[in-house]
Amino acid sequence: MTTAIEVRNLHHRYASAGDHPPAVGDVSFDVEENQFFTLLGPSGCGKTTTLRCIAGLEKPDGGQIKLRDVVVVSPRAFVPTHRRDIGMVFQDYAVWPHMTVFENVAFPLRMQSRRRLRTGAIRDKVMAMLELIGMAQFEKRRATQLSGGQQQRLSLARALVREPEVLLLDEPLSSLDARLRAQMRTELRRIQRRLKVTTVFVTHDQIEALSLSNEIAVMQDGNIVQQGRPRDLYFRPRSEFVGNLVGAANVIAGAIDSVGDVNENGERRLKIQTEMGILVCDDTSDQVWTTGASCSVLIRPESILMHHSDTADRENVFAGRVDLGLFIGESVEHEVAVGPIELKVKVPTSVRFRREDKAYIEIPSANCVVFEG
Amino acid sequence: MAIIAVGILAYLVAGPLFILLTSAVRKNDFGLPLSEGSYWTMENVRTVFLSSETYRVLGSTLIFALGSLLLAFVISLSFAWLIERTNIPFRNWLFVLVVAPSGIPLLITAISWSLLLNPTNGVINQVLEGTLHITFNAYSLPGMILVQAFGMVPLTFLLVTGSLRSMNGVLEDAAETSGASRLRIIRRITLPLLTPALLGALIYEFVNSVESVDVPLVLGLPSKIPVLSTTIYNNAHPPDGLPDYGLSGTYGFFLLLLALGPLIAYDRAIGSSGKYATMTGRVRRPKRVDLGRWRVPLFIVAMGYVVVSFILPLLILIWASLQPYYSGVSMAALKRTTLHGWTTVWGGASVPLAIKNTLLLGVVVSILTMCLSVLIAWVIVRARSRFVWILDLLAFMPHAIPGVVIGLSVLLLYLLVPLPIYGSIWIIVIAQVTLYVSLGTRLMGAAIAQLQVVMEEAAAASGAPMRRIWFRVIFPLIRPSFVNGALLVLMASMQNLTLPLMLSSPGNVVLSSLIWDRWDYGLPDQAAVLSVVMVAITVTFAAVLRGGSGKSDVV
Ligand SMILES: Nc1ncnc2c1ncn2[C@@H]1O[C@H](COP(=O)(O)OP(=O)(O)O)[C@@H](O)[C@H]1O
Ligand SMILES: [Mg+2]
């Protein structure tokens, strides 16, 4: 596989930001060809800035960016945006209100100076693109006469029409309502697969990130704190911050009681003293644990099991009381009090509990993630 | 109360218009066009529409208006771009300096340029003559265009810069990521997006430039270059002989058509199509262009403009006010420096009366206009009646009617109507309220539209009657806009020359008409002294206005 985008030690501080910390501290990552790469992080962590640096809309203070073999940003070189082989979709669509749908999509083709297209060729390409996103019938409409979802498709078509090397997406779904967002998510993935275009996607929404990406980089305060495949991030977050960002989580504070030996899977059994009692966890990290050190344990609500009666033969079973049950259709979300701790537990609808019911909570040791501190 | 306001508006706008139209086709050989014994005639219409003189006047009016418009827009757009979109140094100061001349009445600008550029002893001409052996005659169409353009730049700049600032930078970013170079972005994205705002400003300023009498009187009359506004004025106030109101009214009608045409075209092209409906979404401020090594040279050019258009005219006024008779700048003239003008100008009753009248006019007009505007705007915004559009149109009309036409119509109306206000300051008050009510309505309409209806409904549900809702809820909430609008109208009223001149008589002299009087009479030193006094007053008000509101991107 070849590397389509290479970002090295990117650093940027806005001139107008005064003595605030830099928008991007020190960011490096590679995106393989045809991959869907996501920058995930809370608002203000520097995702947009990073993306705008790749696009050339911001000139970073430091670092190097390569698109394919072309160095577009380095201390010596800076390729202006319109000479970079990119397509970009903006958060609020940015379709031009003074042009029709057709003209919006044709614009990038008309801007190509090296290989000028004839009118017929432009028409064919634009119509093929509009066909692909299902908007051919709106060709003659003004961009202002489209709904939000249609504007979003239009701006996607405009970004893709000149078949760019790299597609940059800045929270393209965040302005849509929930139902439309889910639909566009699927469609985006399908189109990206079909066209095989290397994509950098920026979002603060964990579902978008998990469902669309080949690779996710989680950003916090201008830096990448963890990078990996969606499953790794979800099941093996390396910090409480990442764990919470990619999905709902219970985080329980405790202290190391004892450290077991490494088994054949490379796991160690940790016994952790918590306010619920002793919790046994399978630790896969290469962290060095010392007895008595404080730590916290992350458990996903859906990996917890709920029983009506005690199953004393299994490990990590705790008695609790149901405080709240929220029926949300595909499952039920319970709040269960175990001693002083409120646990979020998500179970199939077939498992039925009432408020105030006694419940036995089972936490499989393989589903616990342990962090320092 | 609202109904009274609507009635007043209808009276203010419709009455004069009716008189104007009929005066063009009624004639009385011995008196006023509509007085007893008048008869129907097409004579005036024939005279005006068939004479070649009319088309000569029309030609010079168009050249004057379009020329000054073009120049003012080129200058304003350049400044707007430099200040909003580049890293030119001292941007905030440049902004203030470009807007500052808005405190100087156009009449005074014209007088100072006559002092700078007249062919015999204009200061700039003295310098040009001495070095390059050329002179530039201010008493010519190019001279008039130049000075009118200088006068229009502050407001044009404010209008343009506001829209440039509020443009969404992401739309330009999107073009850049589509492969468009900077020049292409300006041509294909920025300018088309600004078009509605630019056209709006263009038309507004077009009406301003065809209606104003200041520059054509000072610079056009000496060399007999008539434009429509001065033709109307001359027929109503001939230097000798009897006024011909019928002819004047017909010319007024002609000018009305000229101003209405573009306005209607604009409305049809943009107002209704929804083509430029604003798009929602987060707005990102556009990036500033790095001027690189052009940064300092461009700044020097910009400052050069400020010196020529603002500082030089002020200096020459002060100079002229210190001379017994104006004869350019020289060592000999320096020796003649005297405070004679400053001490003698106060003699006689006219100067104190003019200052008193000016302040009275400004205060009364601004208060009346804004009170009326608030009521009308509230009706327009809140009323659920199908007939609101009529009111909207009525309130909008004065915006399209040139001031000189309003002046003429009001003059005709109160010559006929037996109200004892002809010749008093109150006739100017009525005319100015008519002229400014559309500006006031627009300002207050915007303010009231932002006010949520639930605020009023909550007050009503709390048991407050309408009167108390007005005083306890509505007014406190819109007060900043109200004060801002009142100050704007106050400024405009004090600077306005057209209406005081059209409606002048000895008893209602104000500063602007007095300055013109002294200048026309051949007393440049006194005109200069009064100009300095007036600039001091208006610039103070302008400073209060800009300082108080900070961001008055109105009109
Ligand atoms: N044009 C700008 N000028 C100054 N500061 C900015 C600008 N754009 C973003 N920032 C700041 O930089 C930081 C990162 O912003 P951004 O990259 O937009 O974050 P994200 O896209 O992750 O929400 C934020 O603190 C933001 O306030
Ligand atoms: Mg962002």
**Model confidence pLDDT, tens digit, residues B308-341:** 888 888 888 888 888 777 777 777 777 777 777 7
Please give the C-alpha separations between residue B503 and each of A168, A331, B412, B507, in angstroms, as whole numbers: 66, 82, 10, 11
Please give the C-alpha separations between residue B53 and each of B57, B61, B212, B228, B294, in angstroms, as whole numbers: 6, 12, 20, 11, 49
Token duo for residue A293: 């050190």
Query: How far apart, in whole angstroms, are the C-alpha atoms of residue B127 and residue B312?
Result: 14
The answer to whether B178 contacts A92, with C-beta atoms less than 8 Å apart, is no
Query: How far apart, in whole angstroms, are the C-alpha atoms of residue B86 and residue A272?
Result: 61
Terminal-residue alpha carbon distance, chain A? 39
Query: How far apart, in whole angstroms, are the C-alpha atoms of residue A40 and residue B108?
Result: 62
The answer to whether A57 contacts B287, with C-beta atoms less than 8 Å apart, is yes
Q: For residue A31, what pLDDT is reported?
A: 96
Contact list in B for residue A112 (CB cut-off 8 A) is 179
Tell me the CA–centroid distance for residue A42 and ligand 2, in Å: 9
Q: For residue B304, what pLDDT is reported?
A: 93
Query: How far apart, in whole angstroms, are the C-alpha atoms of residue B271 and residue B196?
Result: 9
Contact list in A for residue B281 (CB cut-off 8 A) is 91-94, 175
The mean of the pLDDT values for chain B is: 80
Helix (H, G, I), strand (E, B) or coil at B494: helix
Residue A297 backbone dihedrals phi, psi, to 5 degrees: -120, 130
Contact list in B for residue A158 (CB cut-off 8 A) is 174, 178
Amino acid at A77: A
DSSP symbol at A142: B
Query: How far apart, in whole angstroms, are the C-alpha atoms of residue B508 and residue B528?
Result: 21
DSSP symbol at A318: E
CB of B128 closer than 8 Å to CB of B336: no
CB of B303 closer than 8 Å to CB of B313: no
Q: For residue B546, what pLDDT is reported?
A: 61
For B33-138, list the strands marked E by DSSP: 39-40
CB within 8 Å of chain A, chain B residues 150-169: 168
Residue of B178, B195, B284 to mutate, interface with A, max A Cβ within 10 Å: B178
Q: Looking up tokens 């709106």, which residue turns up?
A: A138
Query: How far apart, in whole angstroms, are the C-alpha atoms of residue A338 and residue A356?
Result: 12
Q: What contacts A195, CB < 8 A, 6 or more positions away? A: A160, A163
Instruction: Please state the three-class secondary structure of B224-284 as a single string.
Output: CCCCHHHHHHHHHCCCCCCCCHHHHHHHHHHHHHHHHHHHHHHHHHHHCCCCCCCCCCCCC
CB of A163 closer than 8 Å to CB of A108: no
Q: Which of A39, A48, A89 has most ligand 1 atoms within 8 Å of its beta carbon, as the pocket-test mutant? A: A48
Q: For residue B35, what pLDDT is reported?
A: 59
Nearest-neighbour CA in chain B from A56: distance (Å) = 8
CB within 8 Å of chain A, chain B residues 283-302: 287
Helix (H, G, I), strand (E, B) or coil at A174: coil
Q: Say if residue B237's pLDDT is above 70.
A: yes
Query: Which residues are registered as beta bridge partners of B129?
Result: none
Q: For residue B527, what pLDDT is reported?
A: 84
List b or e across B228-244, with b for residues whose CB sees 16 or more CB atoms inside 10 angstroms.
Answer: bbbbbbbbbeeeeeeeb
Terminal-residue alpha carbon distance, chain B? 26
Q: Which of A19, A43, A45 has most ligand 1 atoms within 8 Å of its beta carbon, as the pocket-test mutant? A: A45
Sign of CA dihedral A165, A170, A171, A175: negative
Residue of B nearest to A158 (CA): B178
Pocket lined around ligand 1, Cβ cut-off 6 Å = A 14, 16-17, 23, 41, 43-49
Say how many CA atoms lie within 13 Å of B292 toward its Cβ: 0
Q: For residue B208, what pLDDT is reported?
A: 84
Nearest-neighbour CA in chain A from B282: distance (Å) = 7
Query: How far apart, in whole angstroms, are the C-alpha atoms of residue B489 and residue B508?
Result: 19
Could you tell me how many helices (H) and strands (E) chain A has, helices first?
A: 8, 20
Amino acid at B366: S
Residue of B nearest to A148 (CA): B280
Helix (H, G, I), strand (E, B) or coil at B80: helix
Measured from the alpha carbon of residue A42, the closest ligand is: 1
Interface of A with B (CB under 8 A): 52, 55-57, 80-84, 86-88, 90-98, 107-108, 111-112, 142, 144-145, 155, 158-159, 162, 168, 175
The answer to whether A92 contacts B275, with C-beta atoms less than 8 Å apart, is no
Q: Say if residue B272's pLDDT is above 80.
A: no
In sequence order, which ranges of B288-349 are alpha helices (DSSP H)? 295-306, 312-321, 331-335, 340-344
CB of B177 closer than 8 Å to CB of B371: no
The answer to whether B174 contacts A88, with C-beta atoms less than 8 Å apart, is yes
DSSP symbol at A360: E
SS3 content of chain B, % helix, strand, coil (to 5): 75, 0, 25
Of A57, A96, A159, Cβ closest to residue B171: A96
CA B555 to chain centre: 11
Q: For residue A337, what pLDDT is reported?
A: 94
Residue B336 backbone dihedrals phi, psi, to 5 degrees: -85, -5
Sign of CA dihedral B44, B47, B53, B54: positive
Angle at A304 between CA A301 and CA A308, to 5 degrees: 125
Tell me the CA–centroid distance for residue B455 and ligand 1, in Å: 36
Q: For residue B200, what pLDDT is reported?
A: 78
Query: How far apart, in whole angstroms, are the C-alpha atoms of residue A67 and residue B217?
Result: 66
B187 touches chain A (CB under 8 A): no
Angle at B162 between CA B161 and CA B165, to 5 degrees: 80
- The residue whose CA is least distant from atom 18 of ligand 1 is A48
CB of B510 closer than 8 Å to CB of B428: yes
Please give the C-alpha separations between residue B527 and each of A9, B318, B469, B507, in angstroms, as whole numbers: 69, 11, 49, 19
Q: For residue A160, what pLDDT is reported?
A: 92
Token duo for residue A230: 């969606």
Q: Mean pLDDT over residues B515-530, rounded?
A: 83
The answer to whether A111 contacts B282, with C-beta atoms less than 8 Å apart, is no
Helix (H, G, I), strand (E, B) or coil at A170: strand
Tens-binned pLDDT, residue by residue, of chain A (373 aa): 789 999 999 999 988 777 888 999 999 999 999 999 999 999 999 999 999 999 998 899 999 999 998 999 999 989 988 889 999 998 888 888 888 999 999 999 988 766 677 888 899 999 999 998 888 899 898 887 888 889 989 999 999 998 999 999 999 998 888 888 888 899 999 999 999 999 999 999 999 999 999 999 999 999 999 999 999 999 999 999 999 999 999 999 999 999 888 777 778 889 999 999 999 999 888 888 889 999 999 999 999 999 998 877 788 899 999 999 999 888 999 999 998 999 999 999 988 898 889 999 999 998 899 988 7
Q: Mean pLDDT over residues B329-356, rounded?
A: 77
Query: How far apart, in whole angstroms, are the C-alpha atoms of residue A252 and residue A277?
Result: 11
The answer to whether A82 contacts B181, with C-beta atoms less than 8 Å apart, is yes
Which helix (H) or strand (E) segment holds residue A298: the answer is: strand A294-299
Q: For residue A242, what pLDDT is reported?
A: 95
Q: For residue A12, what pLDDT is reported?
A: 95
Query: How far apart, in whole angstroms, are the C-alpha atoms of residue B547 and residue B262?
Result: 34
CB of B385 closer than 8 Å to CB of B396: no
- If 0-12 CB within 10 Å is exposed, 13-18 middle and 19+ buried, where does residue B384 land? exposed
Tell me the CA–centroid distance for residue A152 and ligand 1, in Å: 23
Residue of B nearest to A112 (CA): B179
Q: Looking up tokens 């600077």, which residue turns up?
A: B495
Contact list in A for residue B280 (CB cut-off 8 A) is 92
Q: For residue B463, what pLDDT is reported?
A: 66
Tell me the CA–centroid distance for residue B275 and ligand 2, in Å: 29
Tell me the CA–centroid distance for residue A24 and ligand 1, in Å: 9
- pLDDT, tens digit (0-9, with 9 covering 90-100), for B128-140: 777 877 777 888 8
Residue A80 backbone dihedrals phi, psi, to 5 degrees: -65, 155
Token duo for residue B271: 């107002």
The total of other beta-carbon atoms located within 10 Å of residue B519's CB is: 22
Measured from the alpha carbon of residue A90, the closest ligand is: 2
Of B306, B253, B242, B233, which Cα lies nearest the Cα of B83?
B306
User: Which atom of ligand 1 is found nearest the CA of A47?
Assistant: 22
CB of A360 closer than 8 Å to CB of A319: yes
Measured from the alpha carbon of residue A91, the closest ligand is: 2
Of B464, B449, B280, B456, which Cα lies nearest the Cα of B374?
B449
Of B150, B156, B65, B157, which Cα lies nearest the Cα of B104?
B150
Confidence of residue B505 (pLDDT cuts 50, 70, 90): confident
Confidence of residue B21 (pLDDT cuts 50, 70, 90): confident
Of B540, B524, B546, B407, which Cα lies nearest the Cα of B122?
B524
Please give the C-alpha separations between residue B58 and each of B63, B70, B114, B222, B330, in angstroms, as whole numbers: 9, 18, 24, 19, 40
User: Which atom of ligand 1 is found nearest the CA of A50?
Assistant: 17
Token duo for residue B411: 């003059």
CA A154 to chain centre: 23
Q: For residue B276, what pLDDT is reported?
A: 41
Query: How far apart, in whole angstroms, are the C-alpha atoms of residue A72 and residue A64?
Result: 8
User: Which atom of ligand 1 is found nearest the CA of A45?
Assistant: 22
The answer to whether B178 contacts A90, with C-beta atoms less than 8 Å apart, is no
- pLDDT, tens digit (0-9, with 9 covering 90-100), for B412-470: 888 777 777 777 888 899 899 988 888 888 778 877 877 766 677 777 776 677 777 77
Measured from the alpha carbon of residue A218, the closest ligand is: 1
B188 touches chain A (CB under 8 A): yes
Q: Looking up tokens 């065809």, which residue turns up?
A: B210
- pLDDT, tens digit (0-9, with 9 covering 90-100), for B55-103: 888 899 999 999 999 999 999 999 998 998 888 998 888 888 888 887 7
Q: How many CB pairs under 8 A join A and B?
A: 94
Q: For residue B472, what pLDDT is reported?
A: 77
Tell me the CA–centroid distance for residue B534 and ligand 2, in Å: 53
Q: Say if residue B553's pLDDT is above 50.
A: no
CB of A31 closer than 8 Å to CB of A202: no
Query: How far apart, in whole angstroms, are the C-alpha atoms of residue B151 and residue B156?
Result: 10
Query: Which residues are registered as beta bridge partners of A295?
Result: A254, A372
Percent of chain B exceeding pLDDT 70 equals 89
- The residue whose CA is least distant from atom 11 of ligand 1 is A23
Of A57, A98, A111, Cβ closest to residue B178: A111
Of B447, B411, B415, B416, which Cα lies nearest the Cα of B431?
B411
The answer to whether A97 contacts B281, with C-beta atoms less than 8 Å apart, is no
Q: Looking up tokens 């603060």, which residue turns up?
A: A204
Token duo for residue A277: 């009692």
CB of A140 closer than 8 Å to CB of A102: yes
pTM greater than 0.80: no
